[in-house]
Amino acid sequence: MSSQLAALNDWVHAVARLTQPEQIHWCDGSDEENTELTELMLATGDFVKLNEKTHPNCYLHRSSPSDVARVEHLTFVCTNREVDAGPNNHWMGPTEAHAKMDALYAGCMRGRTMYVVPYCMGPIESPLARCGVEITDSPYVVANMRIMTRMGAAAQARIEREGSFIKGLHSIGDLNPDRRFIMHFPEELTIKSFGSGYGGNALLGKKCHALRIASYQARSEGWLAEHMLIVGIETPKGETHYVAAAFPSACGKTNLAMLIPPEGYRQDGWKVWTIGDDICWMRPGADGRLYAINPESGFFGVAPGTSTKTNANAMAMLNKDAIFTNVAVTADNQPWWEGLSEGVPVLDWQGRPYDKAHGPAAHPNSRFTVSAKSCPSYTPRSEDPQGVPLSAIVFGGRRESLVPLVFEARDWTHGVLVGAAMASETTAAATGAVGVVRRDSMAMKPFCGYNFGDYFKHWLSFDQPGAKLPKIFHVNWFRKGGDGKFMWPGFGDNLRVLEWMLKRVEGSAGAVETPIGHLPNAADLNTNGLSLPESQLQQLLHVDRDGWYEELTAIGDYLAGYGDQAPPNLEAEQRRIVAALA
């Protein structure tokens, strides 16, 4: 036995002594193993089989009704010094946090199977990829990790070769929200999660490892772990530009990653290739450009709002080999959610007869889990061990007022400020109030494993001599008019905005200079085939100087909240813009 394997074994056995499982199962990721787990979950009711004719090999999982989203108030970063976690995180000292978690874990797996899940985030052969092992007592978590990560024997072989891995311990416990914590120990490369079986709380490879722990590692190793989609845009000339975009949870990453070009664009030969829809790891290559990989291998996407009209690529993957969580079902047992043009729900997400009085049929944060390879816009470049070079980075939020459709940052420092200053209306992806505007720097507020002040400095540090950094933009698909309706059609039509960005990258499109950045003139956007009144487009591209003066002033206060950690360059940039707006 290699010494690495011995270290893994020792940890697994120490966890078993604490949690007292009935048996231990080492996951190899094989089809046989998945079939056995599926049968087990059908027997226990963890899985409900969906219509085999319309949705072969598709299953529905219903969470406990109080366990349907991430829980930011119960998520902690446990560094030795509180300042290293920063005001952006909830903090608990490691000694106290371990004691609290280990007390919850004591005997928690009695009568259950403990699954040992080795996984790799990123293509197995990629130097940018990193491995972890999740120990869990939830077969639903295993089934999801199998789709979302490269799970099983190959990952274990890499761990044995490399000797390092992130340790993640997860138990659903009794799903009691009062006994639920998601703890991160970045200095120990360890995660401890208890009391939730849901998405980002339980699939530890995703937000816990690939964002919170990875962002911490990336800081000292010179790379970035970001809450971003990665998409390839192929122009009629046959050139593919890769773009990464950070939008907060449930703000359009999956949709932009799978965009279907408007009719006229398709005829002209535009194509869109999906690399990733949630997480992006990137680092400078030898040529000075930023290279990005998607550490995941599947999509855990928001179901409501997904339809053939909005996201036909997602719909095409959802009729086989998919797991659905907290959606409704029709009389003939097909999955259903709000936004579908067909079907009638008979059972809601809790399995009750559907009654409008109970609210939506599908939970607003109901999700599908599918393999990235099932996506019609899948590209083998997703497996490129070196990643794809980025031409542009896009930040964006859900803002019903003030924020224009698109603007371009003047340079990297201004772009970092634009990312740091991001704000967005909260969504159902996390428990708590929905629709409240909050600052969500780089869409990483819930996910950065260290002090945002240090994080902003780390972002600024990429601006080195010889660096060929992507241009930075900000978008807002969610402006609303007086009638309460979205002003911009969104979805496929967002390619019109991406086209302007790529032309800016090439230096072939016009713009107006304003204190907040460069905006397209109405004529610089291709609106062929779009029925958008000229006055509405003007409004979408308008900079409200008074409103922005207030916004920038608030951003100054926000940066000041990071005290000594706030980078002086960023504060100077903020002051320059405030002065220009005054």
Closer CB to ligand SPV, 265 or 300, in the complex:
300
Burial group, residue 64, by CB count within 10 angstroms (0-12, 13-18, 19+) = middle
Element (H, E) at 166: strand 166-171
Q: Toward ligand SPV, which CB reaches closer, 259 or 429?
A: 429
Are the CB atoms for 339 and 327 separated by under 8 Å? Answer: no
Q: Which two tokens stand for residue 546?
A: 């008074």
Query: Pick from ligand SPV, Mn ion, ligand GTP, none: which does 255 bind, CB < 5 to 8 A by kind?
Result: ligand GTP
- One of 33, 160, 226, 278 touching Mn ion (CB under 5 A): 278
Which residues of this protein are in contact with ligand GTP, per CB under 6 A? 247, 249-255, 277-278, 301-302, 304-305, 310, 429, 477-478, 486, 490-491, 494
User: 356: which 2 tokens?
Assistant: 């409008």
Least gap, CB of 183 to ligand SPV (angstroms): 16
Selection from 563, 249, 275 nearest residue 430 by Cα: 249
Q: How far is the CB of 300 from Mn ion (least distance, A)?
A: 8
Among 300, 337, 456, 459, binds ligand SPV (CB under 6 A): 300
Binding status of residue 383 toward ligand SPV by CB under 6 A: no
Residues 6+ apart with CB under 8 A from 49: 42, 58, 59, 60, 333
| Contact in structure between 390 and 291 (CB atoms under 8 Å) | yes
Q: Select from 167-175, 183-191, 198-206, 432-440 the region that touches ligand SPV (CB under 6 A).
A: 198-206
Do 101 and 135 meet the contact criterion of CB atoms below 8 Å apart? no
Residue type, 552: L
User: Which residue shows structure tokens 């990560």?
Assistant: 149
Residue showing tokens 């966890």: 15
**What is each CA distance from 311 to 258, 338, 492, in whole angstroms?**
7, 14, 8
The residue nearest Mn ion at its CB is 278
Q: Is 485 helix (H, G, I), strand (E, B) or coil?
A: coil
C-alpha 285/C-alpha 184 separation (Å) is: 30
Pick from 55, 61, 62, 70 the residue near ligand SPV by CB under 6 A: 70
Locate 50 and state its tokens.
Answer: 């969906």
Helix (H) or strand (E) holding 281: strand 280-284
246 binds ligand SPV (CB under 6 A): no
Kindly tell me which of 105 and 368 has the beta carbon lying closer to ligand GTP.
Answer: 368
Number of residues that bind Mn ion (CB under 5 A): 2
User: Which residues make beta-bridge pairs with 274?
Assistant: 231, 378
Q: Is 200 in the site for ligand SPV (CB under 6 A)?
A: yes
Contact status: 278 vs ligand SPV (CB under 6 A): yes
Residue 217's binding partner, choosing from ligand GTP, ligand SPV, Mn ion, none, with beta-carbon cut-off 5 to 8 A by kind?
none
How many Cβ atoms are within 10 Å of 9's Cβ, its own excluded?
A: 13
What is d(CA 538, CA 479) in angstroms, rounded to the nearest whole number? 13
Whole-angstrom Cα distance, residue 60 to residue 275?
26
Indicate the residue among 249 and 382 with the shorter CB distance to Mn ion. Answer: 249
State in angstroms the smallest separation of the CB of 174 from ligand GTP.
26
**Residues forming a β-bridge with 336:** 328
**Contacts with ligand SPV, 508-537, as mask; x by CB under 6 A:** ------------------------------
Choose the contact partner of 251 out of ligand SPV, Mn ion, ligand GTP, none; CB within 5 to 8 A by kind: ligand GTP
Nearest residue to ligand SPV, by Cβ distance, number only = 200
Piece in contact with ligand SPV (CB under 6 A), picked from 173-181, 200-208, 459-467, 514-522:
200-208
Residue 325 interacts with Mn ion (CB under 5 A)?
A: no
CB 304 to ligand GTP: min, Å: 5
Which residue numbers are catalytic?
251
Q: How many residues make contact with ligand SPV (CB under 6 A)?
A: 9
Give the chain's largest Cα–Cα span.
71
Question: Closest CB to Mn ion among 409 and 444?
Answer: 444
Taking the least distance from each CB to ligand GTP, the nearer of 446 and 517 is: 446
- The span from the CA of 475 to the CA of 556, in Å, is 21
- Please identify, using beta-carbon distances, which residue of 278 and 454 lies nearer to Mn ion: 278
Least Å distance between CB 488 and ligand SPV? Answer: 22
Min dist CB 367 to ligand SPV, Å, is 7
Least Å distance, CB 254 to ligand GTP, is: 4
514 is written with which tokens? Answer: 């304003």
Question: How far is the C-alpha of 95 from the C-alpha of 174, rounded, in Å?
Answer: 24
Which lies closer to ligand GTP via its Cβ, residue 277 or residue 440? 277
* Structural tokens at position 392: 């542009």
CB of 551 to ligand GTP, least distance (A): 22
**Angstrom distance (rounded) from CA 418 to CA 395:** 8
Could you say which of ligand SPV, ligand GTP, Mn ion, none residue 254 binds, taking C-beta under 5 to 8 angstroms by partner kind?
ligand GTP
Residues whose CB is less than 8 angstroms from the CB of residue 333 and which lie 6 or more positions away in sequence, other chains included: 49, 50, 51
Question: CB–CB of 304/338 below 8 Å?
Answer: yes
Measured from the CB atom, the residue of 173 and 520 that comes closer to ligand GTP is 520
78 binds, among ligand GTP, ligand SPV, Mn ion, none (CB under 5 to 8 A by kind): none
In the region spanning residues 426 to 465, those forming contacts with ligand SPV, defined by CB under 6 A, are 429
Q: Interface with Mn ion includes 249 (CB under 5 A)? A: yes
Shortest Å, Cβ 191 to ligand GTP? 19
CA distances from 529 to 263, 265, 441 (A): 8, 10, 35
3-state SS class at 182 = strand
Binding at 528: pick from Mn ion, ligand GTP, ligand SPV, none (beta carbon under 5-8 Å per type): none
Q: Is 551 in the site for ligand SPV (CB under 6 A)?
A: no
Kindly tell me which of 159 and 225 has the beta carbon lying closer to ligand GTP. 225
Least Å distance, CB 367 to Mn ion, is 10
Cα separations (Å) of 320 from 19, 46, 59, 317, 342? 36, 19, 9, 7, 18
Among 130, 158, 206, 212, binds ligand SPV (CB under 6 A): 206
Burial of 2 (0-12, 13-18, 19+ CB in 10 A): exposed
Interface residues toward ligand SPV, by CB under 6 A: 70, 199-200, 206-207, 249, 278, 300, 429
